[in-house]
Amino acid sequence: MSSASEPVSIRLLDREYTVGVEPSARDSLMAAAKLLEEKMREVRGANRIAAVDRVAVLAALNLAHELQQLRDGQAQRDRELTGALDRLQQRLDGLAL
């Protein structure tokens, strides 16, 4: 049985947003909101008149790019691990003969 969503208020660039979240995911949402707030402030920099929607899109693009780099790195590590395991299995198979 899943929990009901509860409203949670988050602030991004001095604007408040209310989103529904399951209680078990609240801390994760708050951490994500903090990360997004930091990235938006970084993108906006000293340009206080930048449109919030533009800042949000650029921050989201930066975060998506970072996520993709992490995924690419993980995929590379997975390929390397699979190769190493295959080589080890071949050595073990050779010893069993």
25-55 pLDDT per residue, tens: 999 999 999 999 999 999 998 787 889 999 9
Q: Give tens-digit pLDDT for 61-79.
A: 999 999 999 999 999 999 9
What's the confidence (pLDDT) of residue 2? Answer: 54
Angle between helices 26-44 and 52-96 (to 10 degrees): 120
In sequence order, what are the residues at sequence separation of 6 or more whose Cβ sits closer than 8 angstroms to the Cβ of residue 6?
20, 21, 22, 23, 26
